[in-house]
A and B are shown apart, each in its own frame.
Chain A
Amino acid sequence: MFSKEKLISYLATTAISLWLAASGPASAQLQIEIVDGVEGALPVAVVPFDFGNAEMQPETSMHEVIAADLQRSGLFDPLPVSDMIDRPTRPPEISFGTWRLLEVDYVAMGRWIPGSDGVSGEIEYHLVAVNSGRTLFSRAIAAGPGAFRLRAHQIADAIYEELAGAPGAFASRIAYVRVAGAGTEDEQFELIVADSDGHNPQTVVRHSQPIMSPAWGPEGRRLAYVTFATGRSNIVIQDIFTGQREIVSESRGINGAPAFSPDGRMLAMSLSRSGNSEIWVRTLESGRMERLTDHWAIDTEPAWSRDGRRIFFTSDRAGRPQIYQVRRDGTGIERVTNEGAYNSRVSVDPYSGLLAMVHGGQANFRIAVLDRESGRLRVLSPGRMDESPSFAPNGRMVLYAAREGERGVLAAVSVDGRFRQRLVLADGDVREPAWSPLIQ
Chain B
Amino acid sequence: MNFALKFFLVSALAILLGACATDTRDVPAEPEPQPQEPSEPSEPVEVDRVNPVDFADSRNLDNPESTLSQREIYFEFDRSDVRAEYLPIIRAHAQYLKANPSARMLLEGHADERGSREYNLGLGERRGNSVLDLMQAEGASASQIEVVSYGEERPVCRQSSESCWERNRRVEIVYTAR
In chain B, residues 143-171, which have Cβ atoms closer than 8 Å to a Cβ of chain A?
Answer: 147-151, 153-155, 158-160
For A314, list chain B residues within 8 Å (CB).
116, 118-119
> Is B17 engaged at the interface, CB distance under 8 Å to the other chain?
no
Q: How far is the CA of A403 from the CA of B160 in the complex (A)?
A: 9
| A360 x B121 contact (CB < 8 A) | no
In chain A, residues 215-254, which have Cβ atoms closer than 8 Å to a Cβ of chain B?
Answer: 228, 231-233, 253-254
Distance in Å from the Cβ of A268 to the closest Cβ of chain B? 12
| A385 x B119 contact (CB < 8 A) | no
| B150 x A256 contact (CB < 8 A) | no
| B121 x A254 contact (CB < 8 A) | yes
For A300, list chain B residues within 8 Å (CB).
118-119, 121-122
> Is A409 engaged at the interface, CB distance under 8 Å to the other chain?
no
For B158, list chain A residues within 8 Å (CB).
182-183, 406
Partner of B125 from A231, A253, A301 at Cβ < 8 Å: A253
Q: How far is the CA of A258 from the CA of B154 in the complex (A)?
A: 20
Q: How far is the CA of A277 from the CA of B118 in the complex (A)?
A: 10
| B160 x A298 contact (CB < 8 A) | no
> Is A203 engaged at the interface, CB distance under 8 Å to the other chain?
no
| B122 x A213 contact (CB < 8 A) | no
- For A387, the closest partner residue in chain B by CB is B116
Given the interface contacts A210-B150, A406-B159, does A385 sit within 8 Å of B114 by beta carbon? Answer: yes
Q: How far is the CA of A257 from the CA of B116 in the complex (A)?
A: 11
| A270 x B122 contact (CB < 8 A) | yes
Given the interface contacts A276-B129, A300-B122, does A388 sit within 8 Å of B153 by beta carbon? Answer: no
Distance in Å from the Cβ of B83 to the closest Cβ of chain A? 19
For A360, list chain B residues within 8 Å (CB).
114-115
| A344 x B115 contact (CB < 8 A) | yes
> Is B97 engaged at the interface, CB distance under 8 Å to the other chain?
no
| B153 x A253 contact (CB < 8 A) | no
In chain A, residues 271-304, which have Cβ atoms closer than 8 Å to a Cβ of chain B?
Answer: 272, 276-277, 298-301
Partner of B116 from A182, A253, A388, A403 at Cβ < 8 Å: A388
Given the interface contacts A257-B118, A300-B118, A406-B159, does A231 sit within 8 Å of B148 by beta carbon? Answer: yes
> Is A321 engaged at the interface, CB distance under 8 Å to the other chain?
yes
For B125, list chain A residues within 8 Å (CB).
253-254, 272, 276-277
In chain A, residues 386-412, which have Cβ atoms closer than 8 Å to a Cβ of chain B?
Answer: 387-388, 403, 405-406
Interface residues on B, range: 20 to 34
- For A363, the closest partner residue in chain B by CB is B114
For A435, list chain B residues within 8 Å (CB).
none
Partner of B77 from A254, A344, A362 at Cβ < 8 Å: A362
| B154 x A210 contact (CB < 8 A) | yes
Given the interface contacts A298-B123, A362-B77, does A387 sit within 8 Å of B149 by beta carbon? Answer: no
- For A231, the closest partner residue in chain B by CB is B148
Given the interface contacts A276-B129, A362-B77, does A213 sit within 8 Å of B118 by beta carbon? Answer: yes
| B121, B149, B158: residue with the most chain A Cβ atoms closer than 10 Å | B121
Mark interface residues in A79-90 (1 if CB within 8 Å of B CB, else 0). Answer: 000000000000
Distance in Å from the Cβ of B176 to the closest Cβ of chain A? 10
- For B164, the closest partner residue in chain A by CB is A406
> Is A328 engaged at the interface, CB distance under 8 Å to the other chain?
no
For A321, list chain B residues within 8 Å (CB).
115-116, 119
Q: How far is the CA of A405 from the CA of B159 in the complex (A)?
A: 7
Given the interface contacts A210-B153, A212-B153, does A387 sit within 8 Å of B122 by beta carbon? Answer: no
| A384 x B160 contact (CB < 8 A) | yes
- For A358, the closest partner residue in chain B by CB is B116
For B160, list chain A residues within 8 Å (CB).
384-385, 403, 405-406
> Is A324 engaged at the interface, CB distance under 8 Å to the other chain?
no
For A277, list chain B residues within 8 Å (CB).
121-122, 125
For B62, list chain A residues within 8 Å (CB).
none
